[in-house]
A = this chain, B = another copy of it.
Amino acid sequence: MTESPTLYRIPPQSGAGFTLKRGDVLVVIDAWGEQVSDLMAFAADERGEWLSSGRTFDYNETIYLTTGHVLYSNRSRPMFTLLRDDVGRHDFLLTPCSTETFEILYPPGTADGHPSCFSNLVQALAPYGIQPDQIPTTLNIFMNVVVDESGRVRIAPPISTAGQQLHLRAEMDLIVGLTACSAEGSNGGTFKPIDYHVIPAGTPQ
């Protein structure tokens, strides 16, 4: 009999930092539905190496990542492989929401004391020696960004429903930051938790 992995809950508008070993599978779960989770990763043995949206778009030749795609670092090394995707719509164009996001794109006053994925990632990754300037575009899991023919970008509510999952296999030892997103516009107007667990490397699937 195999022990079940611990299920972690990221409360609404907060974040978590943790490490993965090569071969571990990170399972990210939209606990209640319509909730975005921003993910950032760095190589555990080389913190200057980071998850790169640009290299990932380059080598997959698409802006929409799903099952079978590999996510690359800025050094063009595989960081994750997407093993299972219940939703089929995630974003890798936009940055984590920040104080400036709420200042520039939201009604006046929104930014005051507003939690943000950026500050939650800064806090979650600080214990691992990651500096704020090292946090680039994140993989915004379950985020529904629609790009029309003219290139215009529109943020729509996530199409994910309660319990839907994305499974990411770590292809190297990693430092990971993960959030339950804090932006009204990305989450259908309400803030929900994100659940995650880790299936250890070598576990029979």
Interface residues of A (CB under 8 A from B): 48-50, 52-55, 57-59, 61-64, 74-76, 93-95, 98, 100-101, 104-105, 131, 133, 135-137, 147, 149-154
- The answer to whether A54 and B137 have CB atoms under 8 Å apart is yes
Q: Report the nearest B residue to A92, measured CB to CB.
A: B54
Smallest CB-CB separation from A151: which chain B residue?
B64
Chain B residues near A94 (CB-CB < 8 A): 54, 57-58
| Contact (Cβ within 8 A) B74 A133 | yes
Given contacts A74-B133, A95-B54, contact A59 B105 (CB under 8 A): yes
In angstroms, Cα B133 to Cα A49, docked, is: 7
Contacts known (A61-B153, A150-B64, A151-B62); A52 close to B136, Cβ less than 8 A:
yes
**Are the CB atoms of A152 and B62 closer together than 8 Å?**
yes
B76 near A131 with CB under 8 A, answer no
Q: List the B residue with the shortest CB-CB distance to A135.
A: B74
A58 contacts which chain B residues (CB < 8 A)?
94-95, 101, 104-105
5 inter-chain pairs at a CB distance below 8 angstroms, sorted by A residue, are A53-B53, A54-B95, A57-B93, A58-B95, A62-B151
A81 to chain B, nearest CB (A): 15
Contact present for B54 and A152 (CB under 8 Å): no
Closest to A104 in B: B59
**Given the contacts A62-B152, A64-B150, A76-B98, A48 and B137 also touching, CB distance less than 8 Å:** no
